[in-house]
Amino acid sequence: MSGAIDFADPVTSFVIVLLIGIVAGFLFDRFAGPGWLSRQVIGSTRGVVTSALVGVAGSFIGYHLVTIITRSNSPMALFISAALGAAVVLMSWRILR
């Protein structure tokens, strides 16, 4: 058994894309979310959880769109597209909210 991570494994890819979305949501809430005073008034956990969930949705959208469009087998390209998908969906969500 090797110590290397098998990116072709569906469970590994699922977990990585899930983590990309959660991290993108947390970063979005921290740097582009509501200000400190707004978080004190409305509460901080609701916005963080919502941003993380929207980030997860965006990462899965980005990952699967690039998989369908390009038929790429490069895991790094797929994970970068997951991060970009999360960023696009989070920014769109902020504009529409």
Domain count, the chain: 1
pTM above 0.85, yes or no: no
Q: Give the contacts of 22 (CB within 8 A, at least 6 positions apart).
A: 52, 55, 56
**46 vs 25, more confident:** 25
Is 45 among the domain residues? yes
Q: What is the pLDDT of residues 75-89, one digit of tens each?
A: 888 899 999 999 999
Is 2 among the domain residues? no
Q: What is the pLDDT of residues 30-42, one digit of tens each?
A: 887 666 566 666 6
Is 5 among the domain residues? no
Cα–chain center distance at 65: 14
Provide mean pLDDT across the span 25-53: 75
Q: Is 5 left (phi over 0), alpha (psi -120 to 50) or beta?
A: beta
Confidence of residue 52 (pLDDT cuts 50, 70, 90): very high
